[in-house]
């Protein structure tokens, strides 16, 4: 039996069914002008993650989690491979083109491998808060979220400035954005409803959603969908080509390339990234930038009257 209330719709109204952000159509907005007339802001991120051996999986296990009975040394080490080896291949691939990555870092990685995080900072990469580890998700009803955020950001801020945040598995509670804004976070990477930044309400402050794609992410395509490396290459190239074409008439666009050092960093896969970056960087008007740089330019770069 279904209650008659099931056919009542108290939030059936103009716009969204919540108050977090406003309804807005991508094509109808002001055009964005990137610095130096660039058409595409290229935003590469390379996540550094740690999947602890005593995984609890609350309230769910994210992509990449451990799978066997305890102790799952197999998956634990295969993920940690990214921090020891994979990320250094990504650095080389990006260095060829002078690209600085955004680097979402689990605080546990920063504490365990401080030399790695220092190396990222030294290259001008932007640190992005990425929670404590891949087994401490943010979710409604959890305890101590404020302390968890403070601990994660506190650890990472010991290495440099942090303005952005990617929740582990993009999982949030109803309070996550408010707590992040209170901690001085300017942008989050969890919401996948847009190709450009937009403003969200966060407990009396404003926080921005940055278009950190979940679709052309190496883990989604290679691990989640079981596509091969050539299919990943095609999808990234097709994504870029369409955005580039669109930027001719609709203003600046953002090409997000979300990577995981434990996925793309393998010897047989890194060449795919190199091929894609060569394709992108051959084009005129590509501006490789970090999330904070893109957000600042977006805020200052709206073209009047467009």
Binding site for another protein (CB under 8 A): 1-2, 4-7, 9, 11-18, 23-28, 59-60, 139-141, 167, 170-174, 190-195, 214-216, 225-227, 231, 234-236, 238-239, 241-243, 246
Helix, coil or strand: residue 108:
helix
Nearer to another protein, 120 or 263 (CB): 263
Q: How far is the CB of 220 from another protein (least distance, A)?
A: 10
Closer residue to another protein, CB minimum distance, 213 or 261: 213
Nearer to another protein, 81 or 139 (CB): 139
**Kind and range of the H or E run holding 64:** none
* Residue nearer to another protein on the CB measure, 95 or 245: 245
| 40, β-bridge pairs | 253, 286
Q: Rounded to an integer, what is the distance from CA 223 to the centroid of its chain?
A: 17
Q: How many CB atoms lie within 10 A of CB 98?
A: 9
Of 4 and 54, nearer to another protein (C-beta) is 4
Q: How far is the CB of 239 from another protein (least distance, A)?
A: 4
**Closest approach of another protein to the CB of residue 165, in Å:** 12
What is the rounded distance in angstroms from the CA atom of residue 71 to the CA atom of residue 66?
9
Question: What minimum distance in Å lies between the beta carbon of 230 and another protein?
Answer: 9
Tell me if 125 sits within 8 A of 164, measured CB to CB: no
d(CA 86, CA 299) in angstroms, rounded, equals 34
Q: Are 176 and 167 in contact (CB under 8 A)?
A: yes
How far is residue 36's CA from residue 149's CA, in Å, rounded to a whole number? 37
Q: How far is the CB of 5 from another protein (least distance, A)?
A: 7
């Amino acid at each position: 039996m279904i209650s008659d209330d099931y056919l009542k719709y108290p939030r059936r109204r103009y716009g969204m069914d919540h108050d977090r952000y406003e309804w807005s159509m991508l094509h109808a907005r002001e055009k964005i002008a990137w610095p130096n007339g660039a058409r595409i802001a290229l935003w590469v991120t390379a996540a550094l993650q740690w999947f602890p051996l005593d995984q609890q999986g609350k309230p769910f296990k994210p992509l990449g989690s451990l799978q066997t009975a305890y102790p799952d040394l197999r998956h634990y080490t295969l993920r940690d491979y990214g921090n020891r080896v994979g990320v250094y291949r990504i650095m080389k691939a990006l260095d060829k083109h002078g690209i600085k990555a955004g680097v979402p870092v689990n605080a546990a990685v920063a504490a365990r491998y401080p030399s790695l995080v220092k190396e990222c900072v030294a290259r001008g990469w932007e640190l992005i808060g990425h929670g404590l580890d891949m087994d401490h998700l943010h979710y409604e009803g959890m305890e101590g979220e404020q302390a968890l955020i403070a601990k994660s950001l506190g650890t990472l801020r010991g290495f440099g400035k942090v303005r952005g945040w990617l929740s582990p598995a993009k999982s949030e509670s109803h309070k996550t954005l408010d707590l992040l804004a209170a901690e001085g976070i300017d942008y989050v990477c969890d919401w996948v409803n847009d190709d450009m930044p937009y403003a969200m309400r966060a407990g009396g402050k404003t926080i921005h959603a940055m278009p950190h794609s979940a679709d052309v992410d190496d883990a989604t395509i290679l691990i989640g969908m079981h596509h091969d490396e050539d299919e990943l290459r095609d999808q990234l190239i097709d994504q870029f080509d369409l955005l580039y074409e669109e930027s001719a008439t609709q203003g600046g666009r953002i090409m997000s390339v979300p990577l995981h050092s434990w996925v793309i960093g393998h010897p047989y896969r890194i060449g795919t990234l190199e091929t894609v970056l060569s394709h992108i960087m051959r084009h005129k008007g590509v501006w490789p930038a970090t999330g904070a740089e893109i957000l600042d330019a977006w805020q200052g770069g709206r073209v009047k009257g467009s």
